[in-house]
Amino acid sequence: MLIKQILLFFNFLWTIHSYKILVVNPKIAYSHVNFFSQISDILTEAGNDVTVLTFNLDPTIKHPGAYKAKIIEVPSIKEVDDIFYSLLGNGMIWNISSNPLQQFKMMGKAIDALYNLSMNIFNDEELAEKLRNEKFDLGITETLNAFVTGNSMSLADFYYKTFGIPFPASFIPALNSPFNDKMTYTERFENLLSHYLLPKTPKIIEVSGIGIKDSQPFDDYWNKILSLRSKTVLVSFSTFTKAIYMPKDIKNGLLEVIRKMKDITFICKYEEPEDGTGKDIENLVINNWLLQSDLLNYERLPLFVTDGSMDNITELSFRGVPAVVIPVVGDQYRNAKLVERQNYSIIMDKSDLTNPNILIKNINTILEDETYKYNDKMVS
């Protein structure tokens, strides 16, 4: 009888599975690093043995790659540092046009950097042996190169074939195209050279919003700032298109908008506030880091001015905040068209920031037309 009871007890025990997982997290942009860091930490919290292989592509990123998983960090090489400085240090990203061909040339430089560093890693026999000895059950990596998938952006058009999906270029924009699904003949032709409703297979699992956490109460500092005026606008560009890299005429145009709209408090993310930018503007609050998700959840923050990175688009859509979207590079053009199509954002060309009246008009349009807020709330 006792033996039967013991067997019955073991029959009801859960079988616990733990896997050894390798996550490759290249430091190419902070939002990408943070996305894969959260995946790594979630898997670690679930009881898996997670190792993160991280390597520096953008030397300005200080994120460790993960907080709870084990880290293997590969140092950068001079060739990679030089390429990224040419992209970021001289403001090239802000100056490049939205033409898909020009965008591809720019992205080609980033891919060259990734290729050079990847080859350096692949030729490291000591590292290769260390990874082989770990006998990982699963590997997760960014889909930036076909030879080395998770993805913190939309699915790139060149991966459709990998998943066995057709890519009808007549109505699905390429990743870097500044179009929506209603294209002219000329735009369709450009789209061939360079997502909306599109075919997917069960191989693709979307986990959008995985990094958005519950909002936390503000401290006295932020409560005071948010109470200064009846309306507050958040201005924040992604870590890949930092505001400090803006050309002088664009930066001055943005500051002039803030000067003229004195009845609104503008909270701006600016990476080097110590350089004195905007110090004479009374209704401007500058910080090098913001609690962006918490601010977007504040009821008296009716508008977000941003660049259209997938991270920012996801947050504003999740929180129900309309936006003036100013795409700068890469998939931001496609992301901007996505929210414009749902009619809760207005797209602005970055070069138009030199004319303060254009941004002022766009801000007033969204603030005065409740349709934008309603549409975004429906999406959220």
**According to the model, what pLDDT value does residue 202 have?**
63
Count: domains in the chain:
2
User: Measured between alpha carbons, how far is 178 from 329 in angstroms, rounded to an integer?
Assistant: 10
The structure tokens listed for 258 are 């803030």
**According to the model, what pLDDT value does residue 61 have?**
83
Question: Considering the domain boundaries, does residue 177 fall inside one?
Answer: no
Question: Considering the domain boundaries, does residue 190 fall inside one?
Answer: no
Nearest-5° Cα angle at 69, 65 to 71: 55
**Residues 332-342: pLDDT tens digits?**
888 888 888 88
Contact (CB, 8 A) for 236 and 317: no
**Residues 294-310: pLDDT tens digits?**
999 888 899 999 998 88
Question: Considering the domain boundaries, does residue 375 fall inside one?
Answer: yes
Nearest-5° Cα angle at 92, 86 to 97: 140
Nearest-5° Cα angle at 180, 176 to 181: 120
Cα dihedral 151, 157, 158, 161, rounded to 10, equals: 100
Same domain, 144 and 227: no
Cα dihedral 240, 244, 246, 249, rounded to 10, equals: 170
Q: What are phi and psi of 27, to 5 degrees?
A: -85, 75
Record the pTM.
Answer: 0.74
Same domain, 104 and 238: no
Same domain, 361 and 261: yes
Question: Considering the domain boundaries, does residue 211 fall inside one?
Answer: no
One-character DSSP codes across 37-73? HHHHHHHHHTT-EEEEEEEESSTT----S-SSSEEEE
Same domain, 239 and 114: no
Choosing from 127, 155, 183, the residue where a domain stops is 155
Same domain, 130 and 33: yes
Could you say which residues of the chain have pLDDT below 50? 14-15, 146-151, 171, 185, 189, 192-197
The count of residues in the chain is 380
**According to the model, what pLDDT value does residue 185 have?**
47
Which domain CATH number covers 369? 3.40.50.2000
Question: Considering the domain boundaries, does residue 311 fall inside one?
Answer: yes
**According to the model, what pLDDT value does residue 160 have?**
58
Helices (H), the chain: 2-11, 30-45, 78-84, 92-95, 100-122, 125-134, 185-193, 220-226, 248-260, 292-296, 310-319, 332-341, 356-368, 370-379
**According to the model, what pLDDT value does residue 204 have?**
63
Cβ within 8 Å of residue 76, ≥6 positions away: 55, 56, 57, 59, 117
What is the domain range of residue 134? Answer: 20-155
**According to the model, what pLDDT value does residue 22 have?**
94
Same domain, 234 and 362: yes
**According to the model, what pLDDT value does residue 323 have?**
95
Question: Considering the domain boundaries, does residue 180 fall inside one?
Answer: no
Closest Cα partner for 250 from 341, 352, 173?
352
User: Measured between alpha carbons, how far is 249 from 373 in angstroms, rounded to an integer?
Assistant: 31
